[in-house]
Structure 1
Amino acid sequence: MSSLKLSENERFIETIKNFSKKPYLFRKTSFESEVTRNDGMLLSHIQKKISDGQSKKHLLGIDIPSIYKEMFDFFSKSNGINYNSLRKIVEFSGLSHHIIERIINIVFLEINEDTLVSKYNFYLVIALVGISQNGEYPSIETLRKYKNNLPIPKLYNISNNDHVLSYDKMVGINDFLFGFILNSKQTFNSNSSLETNSVQECMSMCINNINESNICPWTTSNLWNFNFIIDNVYKNCGERSFLYNIFNILNSTQFFSSVDRVNIQFVSKKKGFFLFKHVNYILFSVIRNSRVIRRYSDFLWLQECLMKKYPFRQVPLMPPKCFSGIIFVNGHYLSIDSAFLERRRKGLSRFINAVVRHPIFRDDPLVIAFLTVSSEFSLWRKQTILTIHDEFRDKVIDDDLVSNFPSDFDEIIMNIKKTINLQIDNYIQLCLIMERLLKYQQESATDMMLFALCLNVLSEKNKFVFTNGIVNDFISHINQGMSVVSKHFLTTQEFLEEEAKVLNEGILEDLKCQRDNLIAIKNMFDRKDKLDVDNISFLEKRIDTNLDKLTSLDMKTDLNSLDKEKIEKSIMKDKELIANQRSRHFFINKCILTEIIYFQISQIYIGKLYRDYAQERIKYSELLAENWRSMEIQIASMPSAFI
């Protein structure tokens, strides 16, 4: 039984085996097991004092923002703030369960739900939440990095019929939407699959507004416009909608910092037999703080599982097993160069990061196992029994959902299908052009190096014309000047190569991500056309035939009750099949709609990638300009005419 379920006088500490390895939320202290039941209240009081003292110690020398103090005063003005209320505040941050556990365990040793939280514990929790939302792993060491500028966390409002508080003092803070529910059991669940009535209602209203305004959301001007879709949602649903929280979690900085990031690197040595060696990859999960080794077939297995389990969602693309020019023997490639391996590594990185960004995929047990199981994954797959079932199995259709669903959904999908091929073609061209531009820059860097080498040769071979005299000094100054120019050309080469490398990892990969996302949407539509089939018309005809048979049986005098019962059962079974197929068809369309909205919201990445691109170009342009200015100053004394 959890310590939270025990009364204050009944709590006691149990000895924990494998203390350092066991995951925990409320870790036990080093006090051992011989603590009587009557010592529970005293022990709890001691632990609270220790926790308060540790928090105060951690905050020494750190500037506490005034907003932290106002938040604490606001929430503690009615009988203080207890642990349960603080936990709800943290859950409104949109952070993963793992990060929330990490923050709680840093601050508290052990605490009861009703225990009042001190201001120092409150400040420390809020600071760690803000740090986590900035993409940093929460720790005391990270806290000290922000000692002069603690971040303001972004917490998102959630509606409830019991009581909602609005904090007017927060209006002046950009993107800070703060709300809290006291004495309420409703909390934000980051595992939500966007499948609630309020979500569907808002989606319907959003799409209707888009259609009424005669704006195509898939044009290049609106495809990536975050406010375009958000404004339509807020116009109808307001802040009380559950969808409000989803959109805010995906908003601006939070969208980029709250999701996991997986880094992929090569394992230094290949494995396998001669001629059939394979490459392994090391995966580092930032938020989960895990390190695992996987091979290409493991990634392929994960994609196949996602395809089977979520055929009507935008499953990310995998890079091909091989590219053109690779020699194949019995299914194995013999000619593998570093360029091929690097292309595939980047493709795998795009795939797994798209998976962990997706609000449904990232919480799937298979994805979690893929990122956390430290043993050899092929053995884990053999030892694990997987049951992959239809995502919409046992779901019952609701009349309210049907009434709120956009009536012109098929027209919306058709319009998207008409434009998506053009979008894909344009992104393919963008990737090719950017790749060509970066190659030109790398070639330019190489030419800079060749130019510098030629100058060095000239300066070394340009011998003195006379052994003594003014001409000798003149040539000497010329040679020195050429050496200076050569050094600055080499510096320019370094800057150009470094910039090309940064842009290759930056905007080029970002453009390929957008291309892959569009192709994933197109593949999702193709799977829908293939898999979303039914035989409702056949079943309806069979029901009509059986009804006619029942009518004819009723007219007969020698009625066979067994035949009639058999026909009635067949009719009931067919009607049930029709209802199930219609329900499945509706939920498939509903799922497709959520994926379209998620895709459109994710287009805020486009704005980020071009901002990052501009910043990198400005940075290296300034470095190059400074390099040329330095060269100009140093060659000012270089002879330019005979005196």
Structure 2
Amino acid sequence: MAVSGLPPGTIDRIMNIVVAPTRSRITKGECSVALALVAMAQKNMDVSIENLKVHREDLPIPHLPGLENIDFGSANDNARVYSTSTIPKHHPVNVGSNMSDPWRNSTYKGNGYPPPPSDLAAPPIFSTESPAVNDPEAVQKEMHQWFLNLDTIRIAFAPEKEGIFLFKHTNYIVESKNRQTTVIRRYSDFWWLLEILGKRFPFRILPNLPPKRLGAADEVFLERRLRGLTRFMNALMRHPVLRNDPLVLSFLTEPVELALWRKNVVISTEDEFTTQLPIPESLQSHIPPNLELQLEGIKRRTPASVEYYRSMVHIMDRVQKRTEATAADYTRFSLALNALSDCEGHCHVEECYNCQELSQGYNKIGSHVNQASHILEEQAKAAQRGIVEDLKRHRDLLFSLMKLLQRCERSRGAGVIEKLQRQIATNESKLKTLQASAASAATAAAAAAAAAAGGGGEVEGSTDPGAFEDKIERDQTELELQRQRAILIQHTLWMEITYFHKNQAMVATMYQNYVREQIKTSQSLTDTWKTLSPIVHNLPMEVNGFN
């Protein structure tokens, strides 16, 4: 509005029409109304909502010279605006397209998809046969590499929505910094990804997604969801195992719509432990003997930590919004001062020098107040990108850890090992009883005849010792596999709580960045008020000067 060339009084009037005094933000629709009123004012038309309605079919175009040269401040890296030219040509972005095959420019044609990678059949993860597992020093070295060269995922809204009428859905542009890839995904694609990862990695810290919503979603909700999806994807990229899963890599790199891609590949939902059995004998020796105590301690304090972080997120979000509102109020105050300068530029006393000095002082004060507004606005943006998102990231991590521990409790409640042990003991007892009663040949012949009549299918009620022996052998084999699986789960839990513990280092970085931003803002505000101080002290203040 400043580059429109309109007088400050007119700009202040437009602001008061469009935005209520208690508001610190405007919506996209209110922004359009403000630009329409600017155009009407430039054409010397009456600036009012009533006149806007009358001319809604033939509104003039606002003239805003030099708009492209304005620095609007640092944009949020997680919500950058992408031009349509950055979208891959084969993505269906335009609404109302009558193309029967919006992907017809793609190199992938129907069943001509390349065969699915073999590693999609099962999640290839950290091998238990690698030297890292058998060497504690190698394990520690690998842990130190977890947070190096992390990929950064940026997510933004696609230019337009897809669908028809009330059933339009929002597309998201997902960009991988390290891989230099850009794909378009829907919210349902993120949900599907988390669902499959939950089956493949049941005992990993899985990041949580922003919630679903029924009905139309407003801009505030969509912005929050966008930030939540960004936290979700970057949490996957920080995880030492999940970030290397081929399904995650395909999510970030496959150029076609994910729903179409899923129809042409076979994705296994077997958990990660299926391909790791049997395990090396030395694996159990690397699990800390006090692991259960560590898990119990984490389980005991995590719910309270989650609540504390939720409270801190809420408080810091309110602080950020108050800073934003203060910046908006300073802008209004600056506009009012500029309008007052125009209003009182000519005193009723001829050749009144002091009133002219005051009028010029209004403009200078308004300029400095407007500068303070920009500083506070930058502080609010930095807080939203920084401390608020960092607190949410750590809150999400704690919540994911709490959910992992709950899944562990449910798994233990199933008691598979205990059931197999009881079943083996019962069958062994029956076998001993049967062998003791099989002293005579007649009894053995009768047992053989009964087994032949029964087809040898079920052990229950059988009198054939071989059937019991086969069942016991199968149960013992399964029991050994379940015991090895339990060791693998314990090793995985140890790796996960180690990963969580290393994330604590980010807390220090979070507060260091926050304090640095506060110092920067305070110094900028101090410099602004200091430069204004001699100006206000030189304003005429002698009563005799206003004769």
TM-score between both structures, scaled by the size of structure 2: 0.69
Is the 2:125–2:245 Cα contact (8 Å) retained in structure 1?
no
Assess, with a 3 A threshold, how the Cα gap between structure 1 residues 196 and 627 changes in structure 2: closer, same or farther. Answer: farther
Paired with 1:376 and 1:617, the residues of 2 have a C-alpha distance of 43
Matches within 5 A, 1:559-578: 559=444, 563-578=464-479
Per-residue CA distance 1:593-616 (angstroms, 9 max, x = gap):
110000111221111111111222
2: CA distance between counterparts of 1:552 and 1:440?
Answer: 80
Question: Does the 8 Å CA contact 1:197/1:401 hold for their aligned counterparts?
Answer: no
Instruction: Work out which of the residue numbers 333, 355, 359 in structure 2 matches 1:451.
Output: 333
| Counterpart Cα distance in 2 of 1:474 and 1:260 | 62
Change (3 A) 1:567 1:474: same
Cα distance in 1 for partners of 2:187, 2:201 equals 21
Q: Distance in 1 between matches of 2:323 and 2:354?
A: 36
Q: Post-superposition shift, 1:499?
A: 1.4
Task: Compute the displacement of 1:445 (Å).
Answer: 1.0
Residues 201-240 of structure 1 mapped to structure 2, 5 A cutoff:
none
Preserved contact between residue 262 and residue 283 of structure 1 (Cα < 8 Å): yes
CA deviation profile, 1:408-456 (whole Å, cap 9, x unmatched): 3222211111100011001001100100101110111122122223323
Cα shift at 1:197: 8.2
Q: Tell me, in whole angstroms, the C-alpha distance in 2 between the residues paired with 1:534 and 1:429.
A: 37
8 Å contact kept, 2:287–2:494: no
| 1:271 match: secondary structure | coil
Distance 1:362 1:403, change over 3 A: closer
CA contact (8 A) 1:200 1:405 kept: no
Deviation, structure 1 residue 356: 1.3
How far did residue 522 of structure 1 move?
0.7
Task: Please list the CA deviations of residues 357-389 of structure 1 after superposition, one character each: whole Å capped at 9, or x if unmatched.
Answer: 111111111001000000111100122111121
Q: Distance in 2 between matches of 1:468 and 1:544?
A: 112
Q: 1:340 to 1:549 in 2, by over 3 A?
A: closer
1:242 corresponds to which of 138, 142, 148: 138
Normalised TM-score (structure 1): 0.59
Shift of 1:474: 1.0
Q: Is the 8 A contact 1:316 1:351 kept in 2?
A: yes
2:497 to 581, 585, 596: 596
Partner of 2:223: 342
Which residue is 1:496 aligned to?
Answer: 376
Q: Which residue of 2 aligns with 1:293?
A: 184
How far does the alpha carbon of each residue in 1:517-574 deviate from its partner, in whole angstroms, 9 at most, with x for none? 0000011111122234333333323323332333334332224686121111111111
Asked whether 1:582 is paired with 2:483, we answer: yes
Other-structure match for 2:390: 510
Structure 2 equivalent of residue 408 of structure 1 = 290
Give the Cα–Cα distance (whole angstroms) in 2 for the partners of residues 553 and 362 of structure 1: 55
Q: Is the 8 A contact 2:284 2:491 kept in 1?
A: no
Q: Which string of whole-angstrom CA distances, capped at 9 and with x for unpartnered residues, describes residues 218-267 of structure 1?
A: xxxxxxxxxxxxxxxxxxx6xxx1123223324xxxx3x50100100111
Distance (whole Å) between structure 1 residues aligned to residue 168 and residue 267 of structure 2? 29
Q: Note closer, same or farther for the CA distance 1:397–1:248 as it changes in structure 2 (3 Å cut).
A: closer
- The question of whether the paired residues in 1 share the 8 Å contact of 2:171 and 2:184 is answered with yes
- Which of 410, 433, 440 matches 1:557? 440
Rounded Cα–Cα distance in structure 1 between residues aligned with 2:221 and 2:166? 17
Matched, 1:358 2:249: no
Partner of 1:119: none
Q: What is the one-letter code of the residue matched to 2:161?
A: K
Judging changes above 3 Å, is the alpha-carbon distance between structure 1 residues 248 and 398 closer, same or farther for their aligned structure 2 residues?
A: closer
* Whole-angstrom distance in 1 between the partners of 2:233 and 2:345: 61
Q: Distance in 1 between matches of 2:435 and 2:199?
A: 47
Question: What's the CA shift for 1:201?
Answer: 7.7
Shift of 1:587: 1.2
For residues 178 and 360 of structure 2, what CA distance do their matches in structure 1 show?
A: 54
Instruction: Give the letter for the 2:341 counterpart.
Output: S
CA–CA distance in structure 1, aligned partners of residues 206 and 244 of structure 2: 14
Distance 1:195 1:542, change over 3 A: closer
| Match of residue 317 from structure 2 | 435
Q: What amino acid maps onto 2:141 in structure 1?
A: N
* 1:479 paired residue number: 359
- Asked if the contact 2:231–2:393 (Cα under 8 Å) also holds between the matched residues in 1, the reply is yes
Aligned AA for 2:204?
A: R
1:359 match: secondary structure: coil
- Residues of 2 paired with 1:576 and 1:592: CA distance? 24
Matched residue SS, 2:274 = coil
Q: CA deviation at 1:341?
A: 0.9
CA distance in 2 between partners of 1:449 and 1:539 (Å): 73
Aligned residue for 2:288, secondary structure, equals coil
For 1:48-91, what per-residue CA distance to the aligned partner results, in whole angstroms no more than 9, with x for missing partners?
A: xxxxxxxxxxxxxxxxxxxxxxxxxxxxxxxxxxxxxxxxxxxx
User: CA 1:594/1:196 → structure 2, altered by over 3 Å: closer, same or farther?
Assistant: farther
- Between the aligned partners of 2:267 and 2:348, the Cα distance in structure 1 is 88
Contact 2:125 2:272 in 1 (8 A): no
Does structure 2 retain, via aligned residues, the 8 Å contact 1:300–1:318?
yes
Moved more, 395-404 or 406-415: 395-404
Which residue matches 2:266?
A: 385
Determine the structure 2 residue equivalent to 1:276.
167
Q: Any conservation in 1 of the 2:128–2:280 contact (CA below 8 Å)?
A: no
SS of equivalent to 1:317:
coil
Q: Equivalent residue for 1:369? A: 250
Q: How far apart, CA to CA, are the structure 1 residues paired with 2:270 and 2:400?
A: 21
> 2:212: which partner in 1?
321
Q: % of aligned pairs identical? A: 34
Report what 2:520 is aligned to: 619
CA distance in 2, matches of 1:547, 1:247: 46
Letter matched to residue 246 of structure 1 = E
User: 2:331·2:370 contact (CA, 8 Å) conserved in 1?
Assistant: yes
Q: Which consecutive unaligned segments of at least 5 residues does structure 2 have?
A: 1-123, 449-463
Q: How many residues align?
A: 399
AA matched with 1:442: E
Q: Distance in 2 between matches of 1:534 and 1:466?
A: 93
| One-letter amino acid matched to 1:434 | M
The equivalent residue for 1:531 is 411
> Take 1:194 and 1:620, find their aligned partners in 2: how far apart are those partners?
49
Secondary structure of 1:517's match?
Answer: helix
Q: Is the Cα–Cα contact under 8 Å of residues 200 and 269 in structure 2 kept in the other structure?
A: yes
> What one-letter code is carried by the residue in structure 2 that aligns with 1:488?
H
Structure 2 distance, partners of 1:483, 1:403, is 75
For residues 303 and 396 of structure 1, the distance between their equivalents in structure 2, rounded to whole angstroms, comes to 28
Q: Which structure carries more relative contact order (alpha carbon 8 Å, separation 6+)?
A: 2
Amino acid at match of 1:243: V
Q: CA shift at 1:310, angstroms?
A: 0.3
What is the rounded CA distance, in whole Å, between the counterparts of 1:589 and 1:616 in structure 2? 42
Residue 483 of structure 1 aligns with an amino acid whose one-letter code is: N
Select which of 422, 426, 431 maps to 1:541.
422
User: Which of 167, 190, 193 is the matching residue for 2:126?
Assistant: 193
* Residues 357, 539 of structure 2: 8 Å contact kept: yes
